[in-house]
Structure 1
Amino acid sequence: MSGSHVEVRLERPARGTGPVRVLALHGLAASGTSWRAYAEHAAPAVELWTAELPWGTAGPTDWSRGGDPAEWIGSALAAVPGGADVVVAHSFSAVLAVQYLAGVPRGERPRALVVVSPFHRADPADFHWDDAAHYLGIFQEVFEEALRLHAVRELAPQMRRDMAVLVRDRVGPYGWLRFWESYLRTPSVDTRGLGLPVLVVAGEDDRFAPPRDAAALAAALPQGRLELLRGCGHFPMSERPRLFADTVHRLIAEHIAAPSAAATRAS
């Protein structure tokens, strides 16, 4: 699949030598700006790259009508100069990152993975007809929550709802279907073959990706660890950025002993 709709940018250079390159992947109908609060609190060694993916706010409207969206995770990884040591992926991209990385050779994977607010179920029997209706019903609400957290100015509730409807309609039925298909595939992903440290981060108050999904994913991973963060919902990197950054830093300190050899110069 073409990588023409994937762009990466250096969001924040490392402060010092020997950086740890972190690639951050936004969720559905979001953008690289989702990670700005994390960038402010990330450890000095972190060289933070963000990706603009096809399912983002500025992406093409036809991304969802063909192909496997997980392949764009590979395009984002390939676009990072020098390669990524750690991938941090949120929500829809978290599902896709697990699916993609479980299917690629060990030498093509990052050295660690952080999945934030993931959707995951262990058994196909865990899905029911009512689940589809539920996620259709709350689809707009997650965009409202994102607008509440990330808008440059506070929006009146009705304006926020109206804007969320516009976002929902831009994603469209095909975009929702790509999300739902990816969710339905989670029980068949070879999580046992994902042989790298994986930190699973979830907000205790997440109404969209249930914390039990995060727990199920962490339990299915041979090197998985679950961190439930209090006082936040679906966007812990924005709601509790310092706590989130500290949690990611612990993973880096434990598992990335030898970071990338040279920093990337900011242009």
Structure 2
Amino acid sequence: MLRQGDVEPLVLRQRTASGEAGRRALLLHGLGSSESCWDAFVAHRPPDLELWSAGLPWRAGGAFAVAERNDTAWITEAVRRIPGGVDVVIAHSYATVLLLTLLADLAETGRDPREELGVQGVVLVSPFHRQRPEDFTWAELPAFLDLLRLGAEDGIRARSRKPIAPDLRAEMAERSCEQLGPHWVVRHLHAYLHTPFLPVDLVDLPVHVVVGDQDPIAPPAEGTRLAARLGNGSIDRIDGCAHTPMAERPDLFSLAVQQFLTTLPAGHPPAAVN
């Protein structure tokens, strides 16, 4: 039970009308971001794709900290709470690490995400993934915090409807990081550090990776290597994009999603939502 003043950790919102014969997708945002990072994609969505978005505990304005819990459980809960089920999960940034962890854990224990979650495929946007523990170094730890600030700036820039002066944008990003606090930052780093140990080659669910070729936060090469290691992976590189291709080039991002959807089985029937 939430106490007075507490923030609801998980909020689900239907973004489009139910499709008559299409598919249903759930959108998951990254660390310190929000559902608004998907607004441009929602406006450019593929035809007959019903969209839901999740406001997750690590969102901007979300819970400052939560009790120790496997963060992948929030994704499982979000998927299972969507009326009628979800065909595709589309995750960005930090959420890609958690979603991939969930899929790898299911595969390692012999469980099929198609049966456990009802999903037919996933899209990982600007994923974080390294192949070896030695790929992380002590020297880059301070830079990790700088990348979080840069990520906050990138998100502000992508969501802004008009240009913001660099100094003001930097101030807004710093404030965003202060509000986020240390708890989620450490959890993000811990999940990222664990990626070399994920048996991603066992994941045979269709996984489509989308990267921006100019991403300074999640190196595009990491996404490329991840797609190659996955049991059933594919990739799109969107030129001229940084960390949020769904906001920077929603037209090309939508096309990438639409083409991926054509490779998947038929979707769930439309859900009746009161």
What is residue 180 of structure 1 aligned with on the other side?
189
Which residue, out of 48, 66, 69, partners 1:67? 69
* Deviation digits for residues 204-260 of structure 1 (CA, Å, limit 9, x no counterpart): 00000001110121111010011111010100000010100000001101113x121
**Equivalent position of 1:259 in the other structure:** 267
Contact 2:32 2:60 in 1 (8 A): yes
**Matching of residues 142-157 of structure 1 within 5 Å:** 142-157=151-166
Indicate the residue corresponding to 1:51 in structure 2: 54
Query: Of 96, 99, 107, which residue of structure 1 is paired with 2:101?
Result: 99
- What is the CA–CA distance in structure 2 between the aligned matches of 1:222 and 1:264, rounded to whole Å? 35
Which structure 1 residue ranges, 4+ long, deviate > 3 Å from structure 2?
A: none
Q: Which residue of 2 aligns with 1:39?
A: 42
Match of 1:125 in 2: 134
State TM-score, norm by structure 2: 0.90
Once superposed, what is the RMSD of the aligned Cα atoms? 1.7
Deviation digits for residues 76-102 of structure 1 (CA, Å, limit 9, x no counterpart): 111111111000000000111110122
Which of 199, 203, 209 is residue 212 of structure 2 equivalent to?
203
Q: Among 89, 92, 96, which residue is 1:90 paired with?
A: 92
AA in 1 matched with 2:87 = D
Question: How far, CA to CA, are the matches of 2:141 and 2:79 in structure 1?
Answer: 31
Distance 1:132 1:170 in 2: 21
**Pairwise CA distance, 1:116:** 0.2
Is the contact made by 1:13 and 1:263 (CA closer than 8 Å) also made in structure 2? no
Corresponding position of 1:113: 122
* Alpha-carbon distance in structure 2 between the residues aligned to 1:27 and 1:186: 16
In structure 1, distance between residues paired with 2:180 and 2:68: 14
For these two proteins, the number of residue pairs brought into alignment is 261
Separation in 2, partners of 1:264, 1:187: 41
Q: How far 1:153 moved relative to its partner? A: 4.5
Contact kept in structure 1, 2:64 and 2:183, CA below 8 Å: no
State the identity as a percent.
Answer: 35
Question: TM-score, length-normalised on structure 1?
Answer: 0.93
Aligned to 1:158: 167
Which residue identity is paired with 1:32? E
Rounded Cα–Cα distance in structure 1 between residues aligned with 2:36 and 2:237: 23
Which of 236, 242, 245 does residue 236 from structure 1 map onto?
245
